[in-house]
């Protein structure tokens, strides 16, 4: 794993276990050098819905796929120049569990600059 993928995995683990945005593990994970910044988005009641992070250095898509499995494309945004969005199906939680699904924005150069880590319960 690379520094970036290790930081992403730490963030996924923290988000899956977090009770709300004040969770220290989430803030420690967001402080990783691999991230330039991060934004926590909550659902009503304070639970984390998802976290958006900008990578300090963009990452080649293949590095993320090596760590998190093959990515599947989501429908393209209306603007042709908008980054393509993908999600890593292997990061979906299993039935009856809580996890953190990883989504990425992939530029035309095949590099990822921004990630969304979404707290999901199935």
Residue 14 backbone dihedrals phi, psi, to 5 degrees? -65, -40
Average pLDDT over residues 79-94: 88
Nearest to 100 by CA among 48, 60, 53, 36: 48
Residue 82 has pLDDT above 90, yes or no: no
Nearest to 40 by CA among 60, 25, 56: 25
pLDDT value at residue 77: 67
Check: CB of residue 32 under 8 Å from CB of residue 26: no
93-96 long-range Cβ contacts below 8 angstroms, 24+ apart: 93/16, 93/120, 93/121, 93/122, 94/122, 95/122, 96/122
pLDDT value at residue 55: 98
- What mean pLDDT is reported for the chain? 93
In this structure, of 34-43, 70-79, 92-101, 107-116, the range with the lowest mean pLDDT score is 70-79
pLDDT value at residue 81: 74
Domain 3-121: top CATH class: alpha beta
pLDDT value at residue 87: 95
Residue 107 has pLDDT above 70, yes or no: yes
Two tokens, residue 70 = 């093959």
Encode pLDDT of 13-70 as tens digits.
999 999 888 899 999 999 999 999 999 999 988 889 999 999 999 999 999 999 999 9
Two tokens, residue 115 = 């990630």
Average pLDDT over residues 61-81: 89
CA 1 – CA 99 distance, rounded (Å):
20
């Amino acid at each position: 794993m690379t520094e970036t993928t290790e930081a992403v995995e730490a963030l996924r683990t923290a988000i899956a276990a977090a009770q709300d945005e004040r969770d220290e593990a989430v803030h420690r994970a967001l402080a990783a050098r691999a991230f330039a910044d991060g934004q926590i988005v909550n659902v009503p009641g304070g639970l984390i819905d998802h976290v958006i992070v900008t990578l300090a250095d963009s990452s080649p898509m293949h590095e993320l796929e090596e760590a998190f499995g093959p990515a599947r494309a989501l429908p393209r945004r209306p603007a042709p120049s908008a980054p393509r969005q993908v999600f890593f199906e292997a990061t979906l939680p299993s039935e009856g569990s809580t996890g953190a699904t990883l989504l990425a924005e992939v530029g035309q150069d095949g590099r990822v600059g921004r990630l969304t880590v979404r707290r999901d319960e199935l």
